[in-house]
Chain A
Amino acid sequence: MTLNWKIGGLLLGLVFFAAVLLVKPIGVSTQFVILDGIVADLANPDLVTQTDDGYTSTNAYLAKSGGKYAKSVANPLNYSFIFVLAMVVGGFVSVKMRGGLDQAEKTMPALWRANFGDSAAKRNIAVFIGGFIVLYGARLAGGCTSGHMMSGMMQTSLSGYIFALGAFAAAVPVAMMLYRKEA
C-alpha cells in the first residue's frame, strides 16, 4: 500500500523539483497564519487594510516584510493558499483510489492505539496540543518540514540544515520515549 521508498522518494523529489521549476519552493505552514488572518479579518475588518503601495495590518506579524502576509489575507485566491487546499484534495483522491481508510485508522493510528489505548478523546487532546506546538514552532522557525527541511536542504540553504537539526534532535527522543511498543 505504501510505495517502496525508491519509487516514493523519486516521485516526491519530482514534485519538489516541479514546484521550483514552475513557480517557487513548496511551503505550507505560512498558510495557517493566512487562514487565521482571514478569519480574524472577517471578525474585525480593521485588521488588514490597503495602503497606497500594498497592504498592512494592525498585527505586527501580518504587517512584517512590507505586508506580504497582509496581502495574502486580503487576497485568499493566491498561489500558496490554493496550493494547500489542493493538497487536501490530493490526499482525499489518493485514499479513495487505494480503497479508503479503515474505520479504526480514521479515529487514531495503530501505533498510538498500541501505546496509549482506545480513547479517542485522549488522542484528540494530544494531537491538538501537538498541533499547537508544531505551528508555534514552525512560525518561530519561519517554515516547516516542507519549506525549511525539504525545500531548504534541497537548495543547500543554511537555515534548512539548522532547522532539520533542531527538529530531529527533539523528535527522535520524544518518539522513543512515547512509542515503546511497536505496532
Chain B
Amino acid sequence: MTSIILAIVIGLAFGFVLDRVGATNPTIIGRMLNLTNLALAKTILLAIGVGSVLMFGGQILGLVDVGHMSVKAAYIGVFLGGLMLGAGWALAGFCPGTGVVAAGSGRKDALFFIAGGLLGAAAYMVTYPSWKASGLLDSFAGGKVTLGTVPGSKFDGLTALPGDILGLVLGLGFVVLAFALPDRLAGQPGGAAQQPAE
C-alpha cells in the first residue's frame, strides 16, 4: 500500500513538473532539437546534475540506500533503439513520459502518440524473438555497469574508479554544462520575431 501511495505522490509531482518545464509542449521540444532554443536542454542537464549530486552525495553520507539504484544493460540495441526514439521524438515532439503527461494536459494529438506507441510496443513484443536471435541484445562492456565502481552496489563498474565520488563529480559537471550551454546554437538570435513575414 505504501508503494502505491508513493507511486501516486511521485507520479503526480513528475507529471506536474514535466508540464511546468515545458517538456509536454512539442514546440519547446522542437526548438531544443533544432538547436534554436536550448532552455529545455539546460533544464534537463541541471536536473540530471542535481539528481546525481544528491543521490551520490547521500550515498557517501550513508543517507541514501545504494540498493535502490537500477542500472540497465548496455548492448548494441540500446544505440539502435536510441536512434529510433530520437527520430520519432523529433517528429512527434513527444517521448513516452511527456506524451502521457501531454495527453493529461489536454493535447489531443498526444492521444494519437499514445495509440501509435501502444502499437509500436506491441510490434516489439511480437518481433522480440528475432532481435534476441540476432545477438544485438547481447550485453557488452559488462552489461549492467556504472562508469565507476559504486561501493555496496550490486552493479559492476566499467572502471575501478570510486563510483560514488565519480558520480558526484560528473553530477557537478552536468550542472556546469547547464550553465555553460548557450541559449541557442542555430538560427537567428531573436528568432521568428525578427524575421520579415514570408
Residues of A within 8 A of B (CB): 2-3, 5-6, 8-26, 28-29, 32-33, 35-37, 40, 59-62, 64, 77-80, 82-95, 98, 100-101, 105-112, 114, 120, 123-172, 174-176, 178-179, 181-183
A150 to chain B: closest residue by CB:
B48
| 12 pairs, CB–CB < 8 Å, chain A vs chain B | A5-B178, A9-B178, A10-B47, A15-B10, A19-B10, A87-B100, A91-B19, A106-B106, A125-B112, A141-B77, A170-B82, A172-B35
CB–CB B72/A175 < 8 A: no
Chain B residues contacting A110 (CB-CB under 8 Å) are 27
Contact with A along B138-170 (1 / 0, CB 8 A): 000110111110100001001000010011001
A126 to chain B: closest residue by CB:
B91
CB–CB B55/A182 < 8 A: no
Which residues of B in the span 1-56 have a Cβ within 8 Å of any Cβ on A?
Answer: 3-4, 6-22, 24-28, 30-31, 33-36, 39-40, 42-52, 54-55
- Interface bracket on B: 35 or more
| Residue from the set B15, B107, B128 with the largest chain A CB neighbour count within 10 Å | B15
CB–CB A156/B105 < 8 A: no
C-alpha gap A152/B71 in the complex (Å): 7
Given contacts A83-B7, A90-B13, contact A163 B79 (CB under 8 A): yes
C-alpha gap A60/B128 in the complex (Å): 7
C-alpha gap A26/B14 in the complex (Å): 9
Interface of A is mostly: helix
CB–CB B26/A5 < 8 A: no
CB–CB B97/A101 < 8 A: no
Given contacts A22-B10, A109-B27, contact A144 B51 (CB under 8 A): no
Instruction: Say yes or no: is B125 at the interface (Cβ < 8 Å to chain A).
Output: yes
CB–CB A166/B123 < 8 A: no
Instruction: Say yes or no: is B120 at the interface (Cβ < 8 Å to chain A).
Output: yes
